[in-house]
Amino acid sequence: MIGFLKTLVGSRAHGIEREDSDFDYRGVFVVPTNELLSIGAKIKNTSWIEGQTDNTSWEIGHFLEMAIHSNPNVLEVFFAPVVETVVVRGVDWGDRLRKLFPYVWSSKGVYDAYLNYSHNQRAKLLETQEKKRSRKYSLIYLMILHQGINILKNGELVINFSNSPIFETLKAVRDGQLSVGEIINICIFWEKELEDAYMKNKNKEVDYNKVNDFLLEVRKEFFQ
């Protein structure tokens, strides 16, 4: 397993951390191609370490498969602050991967994935009685809708919300100043904005040739 890219995510990347906030990382690794092609190969697609520091990473092929389905956790890696990247013969492969972002997402994929993810967070919010988890689910609920809207409108994903128009709302949620009902009302309004953004940009598709060409280059370069 070769480290390919590691990024900082979570509250510290979003600009809404407290002093005691955890450090969360997401990244990409590569299984050397000779191992991938070996008889009986059992490939580990995901690596997950949980604790005070949470670290999740995906094998490059699996990562790109999730990216073309607009998985919100995966798409954040394309814009999150870089902690580590692999350079081989002068080529920064992590940077090259991040530049693939315009080609990996589709309008329908973003609309469906971000709406479904927001609904998942709303369900968790309504089920939990724990204040800390309630704030966490509320923040993700709000941020994920805003990220989806921004991708569809501008082709970019917001990571640091400190300069975002929703920053004060996020701080109010983080500090427990908004009720669950108020949060859901805001998000219902943003769901409509997400739908409007999709209707105005319905035809953006994944460029499978670009994605496949990149993956083939990686497999050739990391044959050991």
Assign residue 56 the CATH number of its domain.
Answer: 3.30.460
Overall domain count for the chain: 2
State the DSSP code for 7: E
Q: How large is the average pLDDT for residues 10-37?
A: 90
Asked if residue 166 and residue 211 are part of one domain, the reply reads: no
Specify the amino acid at residue 154.
N
Asked if residue 78 and residue 62 are part of one domain, the reply reads: yes
Is 82 a residue whose pLDDT tops 70? yes
Band of pLDDT at residue 113, cut at 50, 70 and 90: very high
Instruction: State which of 42-51, 80-89, 191-200 shows the largest mean pLDDT.
Output: 191-200
Q: DSSP 3-state assignment of 186?
A: helix
Q: DSSP 3-state assignment of 60?
A: helix
Which residues is 8 bridged to in the sheet? 25
Asked if residue 97 and residue 30 are part of one domain, the reply reads: yes
Percent of the chain at pLDDT above 70?
99
Asked if residue 97 and residue 6 are part of one domain, the reply reads: yes
Specify the amino acid at residue 91.
V
Asked if residue 85 and residue 54 are part of one domain, the reply reads: yes
Asked if residue 215 and residue 188 are part of one domain, the reply reads: no
Asked if residue 163 and residue 130 are part of one domain, the reply reads: yes
E-only strand ranges, the chain: 2-9, 23-30, 46-49, 53-59, 82-85, 87-88, 91-92
Asked if residue 73 and residue 123 are part of one domain, the reply reads: no
Is 169 a residue whose pLDDT tops 70? yes
Is 107 a residue whose pLDDT tops 80? yes
Specify the amino acid at residue 222.
F
Asked if residue 97 and residue 9 are part of one domain, the reply reads: yes
Indicate yes or no: pTM above 0.85.
yes
Asked if residue 134 and residue 168 are part of one domain, the reply reads: yes
Are 7 and 78 within 8 A, CB to CB? no
Asked if residue 55 and residue 111 are part of one domain, the reply reads: no
Are 105 and 202 within 8 A, CB to CB? no
Q: How large is the average pLDDT for residues 146-169?
A: 96
pLDDT of residue 135: 92
Percent of the chain at pLDDT above 90?
79
Q: How many CB atoms lie within 10 A of CB 223?
A: 12
Is 38 a residue whose pLDDT tops 90? no
Asked if residue 183 and residue 217 are part of one domain, the reply reads: no
Domain range enclosing 79: 2-104+207-221
